[in-house]
């Protein structure tokens, strides 16, 4: 009789079969390569605005992690955190279970009593931007602070930074949190100068902008903390997942981990004890001396960790990220070129500091600063002179099976939760100016996809569908 297979041989055979299965079952999710046949039927094949891009590598990594059966965050998570931090050039990256949790944990960490006079306290004001995703703003309210909304520019989609000084109140304003919208870096120079001048915390919501650069430096590296999302529409995915990046101040790492891990004081990683060599040698709070450090809680925290299986998948995604980012930029420029004949009626997003788009590239303002977005999506603004409304455009795209989205929550102060709070006083907020730009974004814009799985034929179909809606001859939209 043949010798029974060893554990290593069984594992290798399982993973060989997993790769073979993945190549058959999931072939359509791989990153398109030059020369690959395009199987696309206009009006029949769906064109999602975003989606997972993966191949047998991710499936094998997930199954291999399950075979090890380390279900909580463990060695794969530790490796992912090191690799993400190294890619960004930050001190630390701490994994959480979503981008929304990343914002919550990052903001909560700045409320720690360990920060002394710099801690954020209930009633402190925090400047943010009116149009965006609600969980950029929610942690401000959830921690008892006061959101102060400034307006968005409807072309960059980012903050009107000239309103920062109007929003500032000495002794009350303590922090800024805002996103790089659809991957477009906000005016980093203006925001960081403002924060430095007034000694304010800065949290960069980098969830839509992994790989974007400002003056050649990656976003997510300018603030005190920054956040990432690894939900499937984002630049890389683990299914669910996110991260908080500690940019410079290593002391913030323990605070972020505490709020992520139940609020505990102990910094031992999962499955390890007595990292501090004083497990039974602490006396904190009103606890007896020697109380187990693993069960001492300095903060009111959460349990927001992902699993090691997710981290294993994410590590493979990180390896492919440069190609993903290149594809997003390529798809954005393809769509911009194809839709240029409709510029009479439609406006398109510009990178911060850009003044115009041309076939040769962008023209720039006199500031000397440059931004290079790793685009999350392609924004289309139906300008007021258009014979077609934003709703008409959205319906036409939907009927053609072309995925499209509004800019998340639009003007957030118009959302039911904030409108109700303004009426009832359920929680305080402050609004700077009339938010006309945020209203324009809410009423006039949508975006379609740039994600790496988008092929040229799909981009051409998006453009042709929009052109047809404007009764523009279909041959006015030419492939590159």
Three-state DSSP class for residue 446:
strand
Cα distances from 404 to residues 250, 394, 410, 445, 469, in angstroms, run 40, 7, 14, 10, 15
pLDDT of residue 479: 43
Domains of the chain: 1-271+289-480 (3.40.640.10)
C-beta neighbour count of 31 within 10 angstroms = 14
Three-state DSSP class for residue 432:
coil
- For the chain, 480 residues long, give each residue's pLDDT as a single digit of tens: 667 789 999 999 999 999 999 999 999 899 988 777 778 888 899 999 999 999 999 999 999 999 999 989 999 999 999 999 999 999 999 999 999 999 999 999 999 999 999 999 999 999 999 999 999 999 999 999 999 999 999 999 999 999 999 999 999 999 999 999 999 999 999 999 999 999 999 999 999 999 999 999 999 999 999 999 999 999 999 999 999 999 999 999 999 999 999 999 887 777 778 888 889 988 989 999 999 998 999 999 999 999 999 999 999 999 999 999 999 999 999 999 999 999 999 999 999 999 999 989 999 999 999 999 999 999 999 998 899 999 999 999 999 999 999 999 999 999 999 999 999 999 999 999 999 999 999 999 999 999 999 999 999 999 999 999 998 655 555 443
C-beta neighbour count of 82 within 10 angstroms = 13
pLDDT single digits (tens) 63-112: 999 999 998 999 999 999 999 999 999 999 999 999 999 999 999 999 99
Three-state DSSP class for residue 202:
strand
CA gap 435, 440 in Å, rounded: 9
**Tokens 């696309």 -> residue:** 40
For 136, the enclosing helix (H) or strand (E) is helix 134-142
CA gap 382, 457 in Å, rounded: 24
pLDDT of residue 116: 97
- List the Cα angle 140/142/148 in 5-degree steps: 25
Three-state DSSP class for residue 174:
strand
pLDDT of residue 149: 98
Does the pTM surpass 0.85? The reply is: yes
CA gap 327, 393 in Å, rounded: 25
User: Quick one: tokens of 279?
Assistant: 């497990």
Active site residue 353: no
- CB-facing half-sphere around the CA of 324: CA atoms within 13 A: 25
Selecting among 26, 180, 198, 234, the annotated active-site residue is 234
User: Quick one: tokens of 222?
Assistant: 């300018």
pLDDT of residue 472: 62
pLDDT single digits (tens) 442-470: 999 999 999 999 999 999 999 999 999 99
Please give the full DSSP string across 304-332, using - where no structure is assigned: ----HHHHHHHHHHHHHHHHHHHHHHHHH
CA gap 53, 234 in Å, rounded: 10
CA gap 393, 380 in Å, rounded: 10
pLDDT single digits (tens) 380-420: 999 988 999 999 999 999 999 999 999 999 999 999 999 99
Please give the full DSSP string across 93-126, using - where no structure is assigned: EEEES-HHHHHHHHHHHTT-GGGGGGS--TT-EE
Crossing angle of helices 56-68 and 308-339, in 10° steps, is 160
CA gap 72, 77 in Å, rounded: 9
Cα distances from 287 to residues 284, 298, 299, 318, in angstroms, run 6, 12, 15, 43
User: Quick one: tokens of 67?
Assistant: 């075979």
């Amino acid at each position: 009789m043949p010798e029974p297979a060893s554990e290593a041989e069984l594992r290798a055979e399982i993973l060989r079969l997993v790769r073979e299965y993945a190549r058959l079952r999931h072939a359509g999710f791989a990153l398109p390569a030059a020369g690959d046949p395009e199987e696309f039927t206009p009006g029949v094949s769906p064109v999602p605005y975003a989606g997972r891009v993966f191949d047998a590598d991710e499936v094998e990594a997930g199954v291999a992690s399950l075979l090890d059966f380390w279900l909580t965050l463990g060695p794969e998570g530790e490796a992912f955190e090191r690799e993400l931090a190294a890619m960004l050039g930050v001190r630390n990256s701490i994994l959480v279970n979503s981008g929304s949790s990343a914002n919550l944990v990052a903001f909560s960490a700045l409320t720690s009593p360990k920060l002394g006079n710099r801690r954020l306290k209930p009633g402190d004001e925090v400047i943010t931007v009116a149009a965006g995703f609600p969980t950029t703003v929610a942690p401000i309210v959830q921690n008892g602070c006061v959101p102060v909304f400034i307006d968005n520019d409807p072309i960059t989609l980012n903050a009107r930074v000239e309103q920062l000084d109007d929003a500032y109140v000495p002794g009350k304003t303590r922090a800024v949190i805002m996103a790089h919208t659809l991957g477009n870096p906000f005016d980093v120079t203006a925001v960081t100068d403002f924060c430095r001048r007034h000694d304010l915390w800065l949290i960069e919501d980098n969830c839509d902008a992994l790989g974007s650069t400002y003056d050649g430096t990656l976003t997510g590296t300018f603030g005190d903390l920054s956040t990432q999302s690894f939900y499937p529409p984002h630049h890389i995915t683990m299914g669910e997942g996110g991260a908080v990046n500690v940019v410079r101040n290593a002391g913030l790492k323990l605070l972020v981990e505490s709020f992520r891990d139940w609020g505990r004081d102990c910094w031992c990683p999962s499955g390890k004890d007595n990292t501090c060599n004083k497990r039974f040698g602490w006396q904190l709070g009103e606890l007896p001396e020697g109380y187990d450090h693993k069960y001492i809680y300095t903060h009111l925290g959460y349990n927001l960790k992902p699993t090691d299986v997710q981290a294993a998948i994410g590590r493979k995604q990180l390896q492919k990220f440069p190609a993903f980012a290149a594809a997003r930029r390529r798809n954005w420029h393809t769509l911009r070129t194809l839709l240029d004949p409709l510029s009479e009626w439609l406006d398109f997003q510009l990178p911060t500091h850009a003044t115009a788009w041309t076939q040769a590239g962008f023209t720039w303002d006199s500031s000397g600063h440059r931004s290079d977005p790793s685009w999350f999506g392609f924004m289309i603004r139906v300008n007021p002179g258009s014979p077609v409304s934003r709703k008409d455009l959205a319906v036409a795209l939907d009927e053609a099976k072309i995925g499209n989205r509004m800019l998340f929550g639009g003007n957030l102060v118009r959302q039911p939760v904030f409108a109700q709070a303004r009426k009832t006083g359920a929680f305080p907020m402050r609004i700077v100016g009339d938010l006309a730009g945020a209203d324009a974004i809410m009423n006039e814009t949508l975006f379609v996809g740039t994600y790496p799985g988008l092929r040229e034929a799909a981009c051409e179909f998006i453009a042709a569908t929009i052109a047809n809606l404007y009764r523009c001859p279909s041959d006015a939209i030419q492939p590159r």
